[in-house]
Structure 1
């Protein structure tokens, strides 16, 4: 073999070796690239999952937070709301609902409440509609229809026909000032001049020992109303 032929052969061998090394390096880069991509993909998946864990943990903590539960059950949170089993009988919508009654003065508000139709008849018979509607910040103990039904019909008819007696009875159900449930226990002077006594606490109150509050703390535009199950009779003068 001539010198030039040997040189060409060596050059060919060197070129083949270089090509092999180049292909090996490229293969390593491809594998590395795939691995890095997979690692990055896994990292990306981890990054997406990672925020979910704290969010779930926060939700679980919120659900188990006793402070939140205490706030929901805190009676002070419902301090301005009506209370009592009979409140369920108040219409949920319209002028006779709690929100509707809050827009009207007390006699008008009562006229829209189906529980108080007999009381409204008595108030009209006594000529007290304007007196009650124009009063400022009063408390009304409002007997239900069933409360009036406890009175013998002949007696009730006689009272309705006697304006002076009827006025005395109705004004005995009204006291000055809007009395909140927390201030309800105790003695209260009425517009009739006599006093009535309220006993109890929480959501259980009795007026004069025999008239239970069925639905209390009902707001009207000028009064706080306590719906009671027995007509209150003023003490004999």
Structure 2
């Protein structure tokens, strides 16, 4: 995996202002929200240091740094992250950039370029050309609420797509379905971002 995306001075993270809390939505089992829609309003937790083995490789300043990402809305932050270029391409192809950037307090699980390569070129090209299938896959990577590593230690959460994801583990061993978190709990202006090593598939 290209280390370009992933570097993060903890001091910079701790210096970020905490998001102002808003009215909490009714919780459901596993810490999820009663609504899986884009605009459900939930409380935003206080920022904490990101976790994961690749966090140390994030740039300390400038493009792709935690300070810069904290000022950006989530799709713009993804577009500024070198290891997420395929995800950015997929979001544009599905027409989801505006929805991601205007959603309130969400969590996005972001597959790296290497994660998309694991699909194989033929399957990836087919997915990128099918807007409906692509939208289904991408919205499975989004849940309502800013989820912290503590929330994800052992949980089940409804996604915007409708199916549920499962999470477990902590620290460098945090997993989302079968994907490993390379660096997570990166706070953008409207979302918590978790970079993962596999593309998630909706379970039916």
Query: Normalized against structure 1, the TM-score is what?
Result: 0.64
Q: Aligned to 2:143, what secondary structure does the other structure show?
A: strand
As a proportion of its length, which structure holds more helix?
Answer: 1
Asked if residue 103 in structure 1 is aligned to residue 71 in structure 2, the reply is yes
The runs of 5 or more residues in structure 1 that have no matched partner are 1-78
Larger CA Rg, structure 1 vs 2: 1
Q: Identify the residue that residue 52 of structure 1 maps to in structure 2.
A: none
Deviation at 1:195, TM superposition (A): 0.2
* Alignment-derived partner of residue 153 in structure 1: 121
2:133 pairs with one of 159, 165, 170: 165
Report the Cα distance in structure 1 between the residues aligned to 2:98 and 2:172, rounded to whole angstroms.
31
Name the SS for the 1:139 alignment partner. Answer: strand
**SS of structure 1 residue aligned to 2:174:** strand
**CA deviation after TM superposition for structure 1 residue 90, in Å:** 1.9
For 1:188 and 1:203, locate their aligned partners in 2 and report how far apart those are by CA, in whole Å. Answer: 21
Q: Unpaired runs of 5+ in structure 2?
A: 1-46
* More relative contact order, 1 or 2 (CA 8 Å, 6+ apart): 2
List per-residue Cα deviations over 1:33-53 (Å, max 9, x = no partner).
xxxxxxxxxxxxxxxxxxxxx
Q: How far apart, in 1, do the equivalents of 2:51 and 2:168 lie?
A: 16
The equivalent residue for 1:64 is none
In the other structure, the counterpart of 1:193 is: 162
Matched, 1:94 2:62: yes
Aligned equivalents of 2:58, 2:129: Cα separation in 1 = 29
Match of 2:169, SS state, is strand
Could you tell me whether the CA contact under 8 Å between 2:186 and 2:194 is conserved in 1? yes
TM, length-normalised to structure 2: 0.75
2:190 to 198, 222, 234: 222
How many pairs align?
Answer: 158
Q: 1:144 corresponds to which residue? A: 112
**Could you tell me which of 90, 103, 126 is aligned with 2:94?**
126
1:49-96 CA distances to partner (integer Å, 9 max, x unpaired)? xxxxxxxxxxxxxxxxxxxxxxxxxxxxxx711121211332221131
SS for the counterpart of 1:158 is helix
